[in-house]
Amino acid sequence: MIKPQKQRRKRGVILSRSGFQKLQDATAQAQIRNNHGYRYTLEALGELTGLDPDTVLKVYGGKMGVDKRTLMRCFKAFNLKLETEDFCGVESKKMKEDSSNKSQYLGYHHWDQAPDVSRFYGRQAQLATLTDWILEDRCRIITILGIKGIGKTSLGVKLAQYLQDQFDYIIWRSLTESLCFKSLLLEFLPYFNQDHSLSSEKTSHLISLLLGYLRQWRCLVILDDVEAILPSDDSSRSFCQDTQGYGEFFQRLGETAHQSCLLLISHAKPKQVKLLEGEFLPVRVMYLKGLELSDAVAILQDKGCMCNHSLEEWHQIIQFYGGNPLLLKFLAPTIQNIFNGIAGDFLALNSPIFGEVQDFLEQLFQPLTQTQKLILIQIALNEQPLCLSQLREQILPSISPQNLIESLDYLQEISLIDFQDNFLSIAPFFRDYLMTQMGESKNPEIFLNRVSYSFHLPVTSVSS
Ligand SMILES: Nc1ncnc2c1ncn2[C@@H]1O[C@H](COP(=O)(O)OP(=O)(O)OP(=O)(O)O)[C@@H](O)[C@H]1O
Ligand SMILES: [Mg+2]
């Protein structure tokens, strides 16, 4: 006789939404710190937690019940303590999910236009810091600053990939075409709700609507190339007519509580960020420097350079170019084609600034004010890092102290000078460029007047 089967009751406990979030956050951080950012396999998670992979799958899958001790082990593996609000019965979670439509929106990604980062090297320390700022410290605005080509966008996109499971929405948008702020809002708001009729609404009302969504959902919004909406003149770094709303948006996002994070990627800092930033505040800034030697070598190898043959010489080249991946990518084909891939031959020619690298440097130098240019030249003329008092002596008779401070502040912010222990320095490739441009005379004033003329800038006194 076949016994009638008992109806099986769903048993055990399951992570609540907040418990699930805690475990996910901690796992993501551990992956970045200890696993080069790669996801742990089930087997690896099994080893870490001391559970078999099937049980790990049940915990992370979030649908099947396990016993409470299993959840505790998982939490303990990531130095977390399981609290009562972190778990619930399987049935109660299911009921909650059925009555909520939230899950159907999970994981909306609007980042099709973001560049491909499948060949990405290094930056583990920066990824770990950014992850901490976002997951642990719940930062509201983070700005990644750095010189052109240093890898800001790549880092931002990689970060978004690592953290995609932690957010309901991920939105990436480049502002290269100096996008008017209202257009940005009209593009973003339908991601959350398509029913609004928005175009006639006032900008401040649209900002409030967007802020409401950023409170309701956990969103990572990445605005790239933010310098495009900042004025090229450094004096106020506020916004022009069409882009004014960005300032209000940054300020309100930085000052009010919400569960989202705005990641700004830029060459220069918006004024609002400067006002709100702080080491222990929810608005932070990361200054991105060049790549580590081994990571830069990996990029050159991808371009076909046989770096292993003369690693020392390749290291010299990388250091000269400040570990800037874009400059190294420009350089690699020339070394391959003209110098037969031999780094030593390239170095021997002693003329490392040419072609695209020259254009790159002109784009950096050209928009600066006369004072900023003069400061760079004075630093370049001294082979050793220059201390602030020396610079003041050399420069103060012709420019005001206020102008000197503002200019130094801006040059440091846009990564053209490095200011450490009271000493100022510039990257070797930039020094080389300035020295070559100055020609035989090495006279800053003659050079600056020549530069102003050739760039059609008004020739004023150097105090302008
Ligand atoms: N960590 C990395 N690993 C491999 N390639 C990288 C890395 N960082 C940057 N690159 C490459 O270097 C180039 C410049 O990087 P990226 O565009 O991210 O710089 P950026 O700082 O955003 O420049 P810009 O200021 O012009 O926007 C790209 O071709 C990118 O693929
Ligand atoms: Mg970029």
- State if residue 360 touches ligand 1 by the CB under 6 angstroms criterion: no
Q: List the residue whose alpha carbon is closest to atom 11 of ligand 1.
A: 325
Which atom of ligand 1 lies closest to the CA of 224? 27
Q: Relative to the alpha carbon of 227, which ligand is closest?
A: 1
What is the tens place of the pLDDT at every residue in 88-100? 887 665 545 544 4
Distance 263 CA to ligand 1 centre (A): 16
Residue of the CA atom closest to atom 13 of ligand 1: 326
Q: What would the two tokens of residue 375 be?
A: 């400061």
Q: Which atom of ligand 1 is nearest to the CA of 157?
A: 18
| Confidence (pLDDT) at 127 | 93
Residue nearest (by alpha carbon) to ligand 1 atom 18: 151
pLDDT digits (tens, 9 = 90+) for 20-29: 888 888 888 8
CB 329 less than 6 A from any atom of ligand 1: yes
Give the model confidence (pLDDT) of 420-436 as tens digits: 888 999 999 999 899 88
Residue 149 Cα to ligand 2 middle (Å): 7
> Over pLDDT 70: what percentage of the chain?
87
Predicted pLDDT of residue 232: 61
177 CA to middle of ligand 1, Å?
Answer: 19
- Give the confidence band of 71 by pLDDT, cuts at 50, 70, 90: very high
Which region among 138-147, 260-269, 374-383 has the lowest average model confidence (pLDDT)?
374-383
Taking a C-beta distance cutoff of 8 angstroms, is the pair 378, 387 a contact?
no
Tell me which ligand sits closest to the C-alpha of residue 121: 1
pLDDT at 226: 94
Residue-level pLDDT at 171: 94
Distance 248 CA to ligand 2 centre (A): 24
pLDDT beyond 70 at 242: no
* 109 Cβ below 6 A of ligand 1: no
pLDDT tens by residue, 155-189:
999 999 888 888 889 999 999 877 888 889 989 99
